[in-house]
Every structure is written in C-alpha cells, then in structure tokens.
Chain A
Amino acid sequence: MNIPAELKFTRSHEWIKDLGNGEYEIGISDFAQHELGDLVFVNLPQEGDTITMEEPFADVESVKAVSDIYSPVTAVVKEINEEILDAPETINSGAYDAWFVRVENVTETAELLSAEEYEAFLNEEA
C-alpha cells in the first residue's frame, strides 16, 4: 500500500499536504483511486470558493458510479488542478501527484490521521 509519510489523511480517504506557506494541497489516496476504478470525470469547485470541513467539495466519476470527495479543512480555494479536469486518469496513475485543489486561509481542520494511523485504519477496514 502506497501511503507517503509526509501526508495526513481522513477516514474518507482524502490526503492533505502542508506546503509550508499557509497553503495546502488536497487529493484522494491511492487506496481510494483503486477502489473507485478508472476515473473519467472530475468536478471541482472554483477558485475563491470556500470549502467546508467534512463536506463534499468535489466529485469524481468512474465508468460505474459517482463519488463525493470531502474536504479535510474549511478554507478558501486558491487554485484548482485543471490538469485532472482534462485527464482524470492521472488520478489513477498517481494519486499523490494529482492534487485537486490548493487552499489557503484555513480556519478549521478535521481530525486527521498520520500515514501510520491511516495504514492501520485501512488494515482494520479490510
């Protein structure tokens, strides 16, 4: 299982990366992309939108189904990754490079898991 140590995770399988300048990237875990299967469509918020902790901020669609992606933080969207809009399959090929949004002005953070804790969580679930 691919779980980078520098990231934090949610129990709904999103990751968040601290960029160190008050900004964060958010994406979905390798486990999540594998479970979802071939992704063919992504819906993202717009720059300037406020996204809310533990609420859906994006959705991804595989051939079979649509799934909501939940935000680990309440924050303002600074940038969206247009590359995944054009090529959703890049999420399948590299879940930790394919960030969905970069956010700033974080005001609230959900309970996050370390890489180790997330791995233990996945093993429990399995």
Chain B
Amino acid sequence: MELKTPLYDTHVKYGGKIVPFAGYLLPVQYSGVIAEHMAVRNAAGLFDVSHMGEVILKGKDALANLNRLMTNDFTDMYDGQARYSPMCNSNGGVVDDLIVYKINDETYFIVINASNRHKDVAWMKEHIQDDVTMEDISDSVAQIALQGPKAKAIMEKIVPAENIPQKNYSFIPRVMIGGAECILSFTGYTGEDGYEIYTSPENAAAVWELLMENGKEEGLIPCGLGARDTLRLEAAMPLYGHEMTDDITPIESGLGFFVKMNKEDFIGKQGIIAKGEQKIKRVGLKVVGRGIIREHCDLYDGDKKIGVVSSGTHCPCVGTAVGMALVDIEYAAVGTTLEADVRGRRVAVEVIKLPFYKKGEVLVK
C-alpha cells in the first residue's frame, strides 16, 4: 500500500494526476509535462519531494564517519554548506547518491533517495562506528522544491533577503516561511536555480499555498514527477537506478569529480581500484533517426551490443529526443554514431556532449 505525502490532498485539489512512485502516491503531472517543464525553464515550478528520505548523523565522530561512508570529502565544509556525494558498497558500486548538509561540526543532515531509504539506513547503521548516532527522520520531514529563474523573486516576497541563501549548495537552518520553521537550501534537481525547503509535515500545505499565492504573478505552477524527470535529464543529472546502480562505480557513472581517491580510505575505494582501467562511460546521445530512445534500449555497433540507454525521452526545451547511456569506453567519443534498438527497430543515435541544457542555453546542436 502506497503512502501519502503530507501534500496529497493539495495535489488532488490542484488537479494532479496521481501515480504510485517509490512507495508514495505522487502527482506525475498537473497541467501537462511540457507546460510544467517550460514553466521551470522560463518562470518557476513547485514540486512536492516529500518522498525523499532524511537522516541525521550526530556525534564527535560524525565527520570521520561521513568521510568513510561517502566518496566525497566533507572536511573543509562550513556550517550551512551542502555537498553532493555518491555512497559506495565495498565493490565500488553505488548504494545511493545523496546530499549532506552541515549543520555544525557534530551534526549533519543527509538527504537520500526515497527508493533507497531502507537500504541506505541499514547500510549506514551497519557501517558507522565510534562516537556517532544515526536517526532516520524521513517521516517527520516534508520537502518542497521551488525551481526556476523566478524562484528568487518569489522567495523574496515571503522571506527577508538575509534569510535567503545566496550561494549554490548553501542553506540556512531556521528560516520562517509564513508560520513554519524551515531549512531553506539553495539546491535543486532541474538545472535551474531554486530552493529546496524542508519543514514539518503539518506545515507543508501552508508553505505550499503561500508559495503558490506569492508566485502567481511570476507564473509559478505546480509540477509533477514527469517534469522533474525531463528537467533533470536535460541538465544531465544522474538518477539512481538509471545512471547509477549497485553494480557500476561512480567513475563509470561520470561522477568522478565527487570521488576523492586521494582520501586515506573510504568504503568502495579498493573496489574501484580493483576494477582497473575504466571500461564503461556515461555519455549523452542524440537521436538522429526517427524515434525516441528510452531506458533499457540496447545500443549496437553493427551486431555488437556495446551499451544500454539509462534514461531517455523527448526533451521539451531541447526540442528533440535525447538520452544518457552507459557504453563501452571505446564508443564514448563525441561524434560516434551507434544504433539503438527501439522496440525491435534500429534507430540511429550520435554521442554528444553532456549536459543538453545549461542555465538558459540549449547546448544540443
């Protein structure tokens, strides 16, 4: 039985088309995926992401545990900073990717994927050590994302400027939005500037309504999971279960920047080393034939299967069918032409640079 987020009734009220996703009932769309996608690119969109999981790591040895559990390095963070990282298993495969928020030297707030919540919590519990405690607080946290070029103007109507984080991947821990105490963070998953707001479930609907009301002039509309997926794909942001899995390393997923091999040790380091030279790479693909490539489409060079599409669809802003894929490294060069098996039909694709879109600019030629 799927759970409802604290905003379920709000979604129904706004005409959301509800579907089951990662154990929750969530809106896949309201007005339509394309309209919602374009609103986020040109104005602003509001998303319920309360299904995401949250964990608190606390104690004198919190930092040492983070640096051992995750592939990124959290040593030089300031209070109020957020940092993205993969978390690996001992083979170097990815358990999950997550964002770590530093509240202070001994307290970290970690946001994980809904679909991995129980796996992550079990994994982390099993591997933390020394003076640290861990608590899964997912059920007492609601999350709303306000994204798009108009997000700042909307936020400024409700929150004094000094309480709005100004730097990408920074946050302010106790901000009042209406009557609700929130964590306000300058983060997102759309390729646009915007905010993610964490608050208590009982405050979620009021925060949502306040934002909708104040965003009317700017063209703010509610957005569903459909647009969330097309937006992140256009911005080439990886999604767990697609570009990352338990069996591929973050290096292969194109996340090498977030893997600090110079760190003394972390879980997965030996596994990554043991894999040797990189054999698989995440690439961008553009469809040059007729059709749409989607997840699980096999990729061929003649008769030889050389990879698989990890995410793909028609991207509204780019205006054409694109995708991301994991391919054998010798086929990863930009300009390489391949064929995708789209339901038994061969469709020509070309390897192109990622991302497809960056802050107002479509990069697909």
Which residues of A does B touch, CB under 8 Å?
Answer: 37-38, 40-41, 43, 59, 61-64, 66
Which residues of B does A touch, CB under 8 Å?
Answer: 28-29, 32-35, 37, 226, 230, 290-292, 294, 313-314, 316, 321, 343
Cβ contact within 8 Å between B313 and A38 = no
Cβ contact within 8 Å between B292 and A64 = no
How far, in Å, is A81 (CB) from chain B's closest CB?
A: 15
Chain B residues with Cβ below 8 Å from A40 are 34, 292, 313-314, 321
Cβ contact within 8 Å between A38 and B292 = no
Cβ contact within 8 Å between A66 and B34 = no
Sample of 16 A–B contacts (CB below 8 Å): A37-B32, A37-B226, A38-B32, A38-B33, A40-B313, A41-B314, A41-B321, A59-B343, A61-B314, A62-B33, A63-B34, A63-B314, A63-B316, A64-B33, A64-B226, A66-B292
- Nearest 8 pairs of A and B residues by beta carbon: A40-B314, A63-B33, A38-B34, A61-B292, A41-B292, A38-B32, A63-B313, A64-B226
CA distance A110 to B311 in the complex (A): 37
**In chain B, what residue has the closest Cβ to A42?**
B290
Chain A residues with Cβ below 8 Å from B33 are 37-38, 62-64
- Contact residues of A: prevailing secondary structure: strand
Choice from A41, A64, A66 contacting B28 with Cβ under 8 Å:
A64
Cβ contact within 8 Å between B291 and A43 = yes
CA distance A106 to B227 in the complex (A): 42
Cβ contact within 8 Å between B294 and A66 = yes
**In chain B, what residue has the closest Cβ to A41?**
B292
How far, in Å, is A119 (CB) from chain B's closest CB?
A: 22
Chain B residues with Cβ below 8 Å from A66 are 292, 294, 343
CA distance A82 to B134 in the complex (A): 60
User: In this complex, which of A43, A61, A64 has the most chain B Cβ atoms within 10 angstroms of its Cβ?
Assistant: A64
CA distance A41 to B292 in the complex (A): 7
How far, in Å, is A46 (CB) from chain B's closest CB?
A: 13
User: In this complex, which of A41, A62, A63, A64 has the most chain B Cβ atoms within 10 angstroms of its Cβ?
Assistant: A63
User: In this complex, which of B28, B294, B314 has the most chain A Cβ atoms within 10 angstroms of its Cβ?
Assistant: B314
Choice from B226, B291, B343 contacting A63 with Cβ under 8 Å:
B226
CA distance A61 to B312 in the complex (A): 12
CA distance A41 to B293 in the complex (A): 11
How far, in Å, is A45 (CB) from chain B's closest CB?
A: 13
Cβ contact within 8 Å between A63 and B321 = no
How far, in Å, is A35 (CB) from chain B's closest CB?
A: 9
CA distance A68 to B321 in the complex (A): 19
Given A63-B226, A66-B294, A66-B343, 10 more A-B residue pairs with CB atoms under 8 Å apart are A37-B32, A37-B226, A38-B35, A41-B291, A61-B292, A62-B33, A63-B33, A63-B34, A63-B314, A64-B33
CA distance A61 to B345 in the complex (A): 15
**In chain B, what residue has the closest Cβ to A85?**
B290
How far, in Å, is A7 (CB) from chain B's closest CB?
A: 25
**In chain A, what residue has the closest Cβ to B34?**
A38
**In chain B, what residue has the closest Cβ to A89?**
B34
How far, in Å, is A121 (CB) from chain B's closest CB?
A: 21
User: In this complex, which of B35, B292, B294, B343 has the most chain A Cβ atoms within 10 angstroms of its Cβ?
Assistant: B292
CA distance A81 to B171 in the complex (A): 53
Chain A residues with Cβ below 8 Å from B230 are 63
**In chain A, what residue has the closest Cβ to B233?**
A63
**In chain B, what residue has the closest Cβ to A40?**
B314
How far, in Å, is B50 (CB) from chain A's closest CB?
A: 21
How far, in Å, is B141 (CB) from chain A's closest CB?
A: 28
Chain A residues with Cβ below 8 Å from B291 are 41, 43
CA distance A62 to B230 in the complex (A): 12
How far, in Å, is A31 (CB) from chain B's closest CB?
A: 14
CA distance A100 to B151 in the complex (A): 41
How far, in Å, is B346 (CB) from chain A's closest CB?
A: 13
**In chain B, what residue has the closest Cβ to A68?**
B343
Chain B residues with Cβ below 8 Å from A61 are 292, 314
